[in-house]
Amino acid sequence: MDLLNTLVDKGLRRELPTREEALAVLATSDDDLLDVVAAAGKVRRHWFGRRVKLNYLVNLKSGLCPEDCSYCSQRLGSKADILKYTWLKPDEASQAAAAGLAGGAKRVCLVASGRGPTDRDVDRVSQTIKAIKEQNDGVEVCACLGLLSDGQAERLREAGADAYNHNLNTSEGTYGDITTTHTYADRVDTVQKAHAAGLSACSGLIAGMGETDEDLVDVVFSLRELDPDSVPVNFLIPFEGTPLAKEWNLTPQRCLRILAMVRFVCPDVEVRIAGGREVHLRTMQPLALHLANSIFLGDYLTSEGQAGKADLEMIADAGFEVEGAGEVTLPEHRAAAAGGGCGSHAGAGCGSDAGAGCGAHEGGGCGSHEGAGGVCGTAAVATAAEPRADLVAVRRRGAGTDLAPNA
């Protein structure tokens, strides 16, 4: 297929596809799906080999968020029966992080519900970062705390944070349909603050909220322009008790096409399969490893994920290997500018030769979202999938409980 040959050539050169080419990937048929995966897989292997980076989420503060993000199980007015608790103490958070690190994760994502941190919250998270770093050599820490005020990104970096996550979630044109308590511009501003402070920027999207193909291409092109080092791709988990609990717009095939499109547009960044992979990709998760080079290990913020042991077996059975703590995630040209750190910005943009992450969040943060749901423009082109509410399980273990985590 000429389209795929063109996209592979562009991906190997870090050249931006056209919008028409990106839309064409989403419009490919199921008959052509394996060809699409194989083509995007060439780009993924060129920049990242067969390494899979493991990330682990710690929900520092769960529920009771004042924001109204309609995809979020922690939102204002949510009826979802999730865990609710206030800030974990630094030693509690460090203990939770240790479980994920023991399972093979190299990055810990510290997430807290809320509009954004107060200065006292930044102090609290800074103590947690220091505790985790003191007890775990070489660990990367990504903070995901919502909208940042001036100076807060710098303080997190001084405390030892390596990255900051804040997702765009959907296109600018339809953002107001999913949230009214803050704006798309607010989100862009926070990503820019993190970037300017020298943190590795992590920003992604949520698919399955009723968006069109055009919306998906819009947000991915916007992400490329923002130039994050990592792009988490979340698939809506329709939690009961959230506005779009009945929205089931994704099939495994559509999820794979979305991941392929992201890889072609951002060929040399860490593409992470975040929240919802178990719900929507299901038995086709191994194919997604040919497109993305990063996943979350174990559970998410408020929902359960696949067993950590099953994640590791899936990676090995698919012919991939877990990325080691001593390996640099990003290609040399992106990591070199900041001394080869955990994904620091390099002179090249999100797959381009001009200009110079974490993963799962609800209500404005760390990348993979649970309970995502919100009307994003007109109905999606894809045929709606059969609801699989049986695959949506509220997290009852790990952080905020007395039970062992899934790692």
Could you give the CA distance from residue 111 to residue 303 in angstroms, rounded to a whole number?
A: 14
The amino acid that residue 308 corresponds to is G
| pLDDT at residue 343, as a whole number | 42
187 annotated binding-site participant: no
Look up the pTM and report it.
0.89
User: Would you call 272 a catalytic residue per the annotation?
Assistant: yes
- Report yes or no on 351 lying in a domain: no
44 annotated binding-site participant: no
Domain count across the chain: 1
50 annotated binding-site participant: no
pLDDT tens-place string over residues 309-360: 999 999 999 999 999 988 999 999 998 754 434 444 333 345 443 332 334 4
Catalytic residue, chosen from 75, 124, 142, 342, is: 142
Residue 82 has pLDDT above 80, yes or no: no
pLDDT tens-place string over residues 153-199: 999 999 999 999 999 999 999 999 988 899 999 999 999 999 999 99
Q: How many CA atoms lie within 13 A of 327 on its CB side?
A: 17
CB 9, CB 3: distance < 8 Å: no
- Report yes or no on 374 lying in a domain: yes
CB atoms within 10 A of CB 231: 31
The residue with greater pLDDT, 355 or 304, is: 304
User: Would you call 109 a catalytic residue per the annotation?
Assistant: yes
Q: What integer is the mean pLDDT of 85-114?
A: 93
Residue 90 has pLDDT above 50, yes or no: yes
Extract the tokens encoding 135.
Answer: 């007890």
Map 101-118 to HEC letters: HHCCCCEEEEEECCCCCC
| pLDDT at residue 120, as a whole number | 96
| pLDDT at residue 392, as a whole number | 83
- Report yes or no on 122 lying in a domain: yes
- Report yes or no on 400 lying in a domain: no
Q: What integer is the mean pLDDT of 246-272?
A: 96
Catalytic residue, chosen from 44, 157, 202, 334, is: 202
- Report yes or no on 396 lying in a domain: no
- Report yes or no on 9 lying in a domain: no
| pLDDT at residue 213, as a whole number | 98
pLDDT band, very low/low/confident/very high, at 404 (cuts 50, 70, 90): confident
CB atoms within 10 A of CB 402: 5
| pLDDT at residue 74, as a whole number | 67
The lowest-confidence range among 60-74, 249-263, 362-376 is 362-376
**Which of the 8 DSSP states describes residue 85?**
B
Range of the domain at 296: 19-322+359-391
CATH number, domain with residue 82: 3.20.20.70
Could you give the CA distance from residue 371 to residue 240 in angstroms, rounded to a whole number?
A: 8
The lowest-confidence range among 98-107, 253-262, 263-272, 350-359 is 350-359
Catalytic residue, chosen from 14, 72, 263, 395, is: 72
Catalytic residue, chosen from 14, 65, 224, 263, is: 65
User: Would you call 358 a catalytic residue per the annotation?
Assistant: no
Residue among 1, 11, 7 nearest 32 (CA): 1
User: Would you call 142 a catalytic residue per the annotation?
Assistant: yes
CB 162, CB 141: distance < 8 Å: yes
Catalytic residue, chosen from 14, 272, 277, 395, is: 272
272 annotated binding-site participant: yes
- Report yes or no on 401 lying in a domain: no
Burial readout 184-203 (b: 16 or more C-beta within 10 A, e: otherwise): bebbbebbbbbbebebbbbb
Three-state DSSP class for residue 144: strand
109 annotated binding-site participant: yes
266 annotated binding-site participant: no
Could you give the CA distance from residue 96 to residue 393 in angstroms, rounded to a whole number?
A: 20
- Report yes or no on 334 lying in a domain: no
User: Would you call 72 a catalytic residue per the annotation?
Assistant: yes
Could you give the CA distance from residue 160 to residue 358 in angstroms, rounded to a whole number?
A: 15
Report how far apart, in Å, the C-alpha atoms of 30 and of each of 27, 38, 145, 292 are: 9, 14, 39, 19
| pLDDT at residue 373, as a whole number | 38
Could you give the CA distance from residue 309 to residue 303 in angstroms, rounded to a whole number?
A: 17
Map 348-383 to HEC letters: CCCCCCCCCCCCCCCCCCCCCCCCCCCCCCCCCCCC
The residue whose two tokens read 């006292």 is: 120
CB 359, CB 367: distance < 8 Å: yes
